[in-house]
Amino acid sequence: MKRLVLTLLLPVCLMAYGQLPLPVVPGTLTAPRDRADYVVTHFYDGMDWNDPSMTGPDAMMQDWANFLSVMPHATPATAATAIRDFMKTVPAGRADYFNGLAEGYLFAIDSDMYDESLYLAALDGLASNTQLAADVAAACRSRHDYLARYAPGSTVADLTVSSLDGKSQFDIAAAAGRADEVMLLFYDPDCDDCHEAMNTLATDPDWLARQHSGRLFVVIAEITDDVEERFPILAVPSIYMLDGATLTVKSRNLPLTK
């Protein structure tokens, strides 16, 4: 994956090295956040889909990396709108390519640009793109709607879970206030990796220290058809990290790492 090469410089100028000409930021915008908002909003204004210098794979990938590199500096809502609006303009013949870029940069757990909210915005844009065939747009809409369930920021309010040792079962609402964070681990009874992860949580000194200190409370839930329909499960086991007080999803589909 290409690394970002775009640099925000003082309040005066913004430069990048790629095929796409950057928008000229008005001099009246001096606050970094305002400048970043302007750049993400107008980043693709100069895109010419008929210009081979802009539509080669390397050029499109580098410009995409430059585009995303500004996102952390912009207002989240503006960044989401910018990526959604751009995806609405992608020609049908480029949709698969940009769908792949969005997934690889924004939805791959090992990507340093990982951002589920931006990935959902990208899917929403493709789903609303009138240039795409109806079935392609519908597939993007279906994936968006599924992944939007219990996305970060959502609250898990109704789910039967068990203690890590499996000896007690209760509604997840009972986990609120038990620790700073709640780890919700979805498992398959026939999955060796799941049992290994649960054993690690139950025996590893570092994990035990986090649990005993009140920093972490662990609950588990078996992956049933009902659970998989409600919760996007993209790995087995799959870990959702919740705020301990509100049970709001902070991150999800994570591997078990310290």
| pTM greater than 0.85 | no
Beta strands in the chain (DSSP E): 7-9, 13-15, 160-163, 169-171, 181-187, 216-222, 238-243, 249-254
d(CA 27, CA 76): 23
Report yes or no: 25 and 39 within 8 Å, Cβ to Cβ. Answer: yes
Predicted pLDDT of residue 13 = 37
Predicted pLDDT of residue 14 = 40
Residue 131 identity: Q
Q: What is the pLDDT of residues 29-77, one digit of tens each?
A: 999 999 999 999 999 999 999 999 899 999 999 999 999 999 999 999 9
pLDDT in tens, the chain (258 residues): 444 434 443 333 344 445 788 899 999 999 999 999 999 999 999 999 999 989 999 999 999 999 999 999 999 999 999 999 999 999 999 999 999 999 999 998 889 899 999 999 999 999 999 999 999 999 999 999 999 999 999 999 899 999 999 899 999 999 999 999 999 999 999 999 999 999 999 999 999 999 999 999 999 999 999 999 999 998 899 999 999 999 999 999 888 876
Question: Residue 146: what are its φ and ψ, rounded to 5°?
Answer: -70, -50
